């Protein structure tokens, strides 16, 4: 596994200022993520993205706050509501955007932080404590002093320990809305344009162009360390099984035709790639299964439920990851996000590692931090019934599960359809 530089553990607080969730917040061991969203009018109790102020929750735990840390309070106007956050001055703009994504479904790349600064938007890597905030943004949370209820009192106590209070407006289209064009047809950023701009970090051409491989770049390793420190205690659906390998699956255009999945006139089952459940049922005796999608948890959960993947009788999903722990890497020509498998390996080092993990995705650039563990599959678009990728993939995964295969990184997954070997 990758040797990482030590990272200062950040503490993130999103303060509860809405009615409590009716089902209670679940916890695990990790940094605190609480939520606040207050409506500016009775009619705006939920945003257009489907954000429910009464039920919003993020499944993270509470940790002791470090007295040496300085915090910044944020009040964000969004879709008729006020979202209240508190973050460490050491946290970055990317951290702020990731939390806003979880709260609003507006992807980081689509977020406009209006009024935070004068001129250009701050870069994602800039610490929040170093941002030259616009004078008009440096003000208290609107209406906080006038509120007398218990939740507002808690929020006021939280704001009292912040070095600054920043007010700005969030502009951006939630994922559910941006998937529809003017003609009403579903579209996604992961369409053919994304495939055409994909990057294969194992190709000789890319190796020549990249001065430092993303997996070796010190800036990326620092980002990775921070992600591991903050998000390694993600929720688990079914505990890992010692002795099993790990299968990490992308969702959009890998296991389902997302365009059809979003079509209200088409059943969700029609969007699943042929052989999906047969594949997972066949490999589950040998692999724990993770679904990792570049989307928000709320949207991801809806998709998995509609595809009948969370309660299937033939296999179990061990855990699900969304865009929150992903981070961006910079190449010579562009910047893109990655799915760092090290996040999983560090949590269960005695169960999973590079030697027994395979990551299936239709975009090879997602393998940037772990290129030898990635298997690029043909995108599943327009729901062709004759697609046989999963039939072939099932054969390959069972070959990898054979006792004669000790290290997945020694194999050329780019030639997976031609691999010769016995099945488990």
Rounded to whole angstroms, the Cα distance separating 51 from 103 reads 7
- Look at residue 7 and tell me if it is in a domain: no
Instruction: Write the CB contacts of 197 (distance below 8 Å, at least 6 apart in sequence).
Output: 334
Task: Identify each DSSP E strand in 161-267 by its residue range.
Answer: 162-171, 245-249
**Mean pLDDT of the region 400-407:** 97
Instruction: Give the SS3 label for residue 124.
Output: coil
Rounded to whole angstroms, the Cα distance separating 93 from 36 reads 19
Examine the pLDDT at 165 and tell me if it is beyond 90.
Answer: yes
**Mean pLDDT of the region 376-394:** 91
Q: What is the pLDDT of residue 198?
A: 67
Confidence of residue 203 (pLDDT cuts 50, 70, 90): low
The residue among 178, 200, 235 that closes a domain is 178
Whether residues 174 and 200 share a domain: the answer is: no
Q: Report whether 364 contacts 201 (CB < 8 A).
A: yes
Total structural domains within the chain: 2
Whether residues 98 and 219 share a domain: the answer is: no
Strands 287-292 and 245-249: parallel
Q: What is the pLDDT of residue 215?
A: 81
The residue among 133, 149, 178 that closes a domain is 178
Of 20-24, 236-240, 271-275, 335-339, least confident by mean pLDDT is 20-24
Examine the pLDDT at 4 and tell me if it is beyond 90.
Answer: no
Q: Is the backbone of residue 59 left (phi > 0), alpha (psi -120 to 50) or beta?
A: beta
Of 38-52, 171-185, 288-302, 370-384, least confident by mean pLDDT is 38-52
Q: What is the pLDDT of residue 7?
A: 43
Tally the residues of the chain: 424
Whether residues 165 and 206 share a domain: the answer is: no
Q: What is the pLDDT of residue 109?
A: 86
Query: What one-character DSSP code corresponds to residue 123?
Result: P
CB under 8 A, 24+ apart: contacts of 40-45 = 40/77, 40/80, 40/81, 40/82, 41/80, 43/80, 44/79, 44/80, 44/81
**Mean pLDDT of the region 113-118:** 94
Rounded to whole angstroms, the Cα distance separating 59 from 238 reads 16
Range of the domain at 284: 192-418
């Amino acid at each position: 596994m990758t040797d990482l530089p030590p990272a200062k553990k950040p503490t993130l607080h999103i303060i509860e200022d809405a009615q409590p969730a009716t089902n209670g917040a679940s916890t695990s061991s990790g940094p605190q993520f609480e939520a606040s969203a207050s409506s500016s009018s009775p009619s705006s109790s939920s945003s257009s993205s489907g954000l429910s102020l009464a039920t919003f929750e993020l499944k993270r735990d509470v940790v002791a706050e470090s007295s040496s840390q300085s915090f910044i309070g944020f009040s964000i106007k969004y879709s008729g509501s006020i979202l209240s956050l508190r973050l460490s001055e050491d946290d970055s703009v990317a951290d702020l955007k990731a939390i806003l994504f979880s709260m609003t479904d507006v992807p980081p790349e689509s977020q406009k932080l209006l009024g935070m600064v004068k001129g250009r938007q701050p870069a994602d890597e800039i610490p929040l404590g170093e941002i030259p905030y616009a004078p008009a943004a440096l003000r208290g949370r609107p209406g906080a002093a006038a509120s007398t209820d218990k939740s507002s009192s808690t929020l006021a106590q939280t704001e009292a320990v912040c070095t600054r209070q920043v007010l700005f407006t969030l502009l951006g289209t939630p994922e559910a809305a941006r998937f529809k064009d003017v003609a009403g047809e579903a579209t996604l950023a992961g369409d053919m344009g994304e495939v055409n701009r994909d990057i294969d970090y194992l190709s000789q051409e890319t190796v020549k162009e990249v001065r430092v491989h993303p997996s070796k770049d010190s800036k990326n390793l620092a980002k990775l360390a921070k992600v591991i420190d903050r998000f390694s205690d993600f929720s688990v659906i079914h505990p890992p099984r010692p002795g099993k390998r790990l299968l990490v699956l992308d969702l959009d255009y890998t296991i389902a035709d997302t365009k059809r999945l979003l079509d209200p006139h088409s059943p969700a089952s029609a969007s699943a790639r042929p052989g999906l459940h047969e594949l997972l049922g066949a490999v589950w005796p040998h692999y724990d299964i993770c679904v990792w999608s570049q989307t928000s948890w709320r949207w991801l959960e809806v998709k998995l439920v509609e595809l009948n993947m969370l309660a299937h009788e033939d296999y179990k999903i061990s855990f699900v990851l969304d865009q929150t722990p992903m981070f961006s890497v910079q190449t010579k020509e562009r910047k893109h996000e990655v799915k760092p498998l090290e996040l999983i390996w560090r949590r269960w080092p005695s169960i999973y590692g590079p030697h027994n993990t395979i990551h299936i995705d239709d975009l090879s650039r997602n393998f940037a931090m772990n290129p030898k563990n990635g298997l690029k599959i043909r995108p599943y678009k327009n729901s062709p019934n004759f697609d046989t990728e999963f039939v072939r993939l099932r054969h390959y995964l069972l070959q990898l599960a054979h006792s004669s295969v000790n290290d997945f990184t020694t194999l050329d997954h780019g030639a997976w359809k031609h691999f010769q070997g016995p099945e488990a």
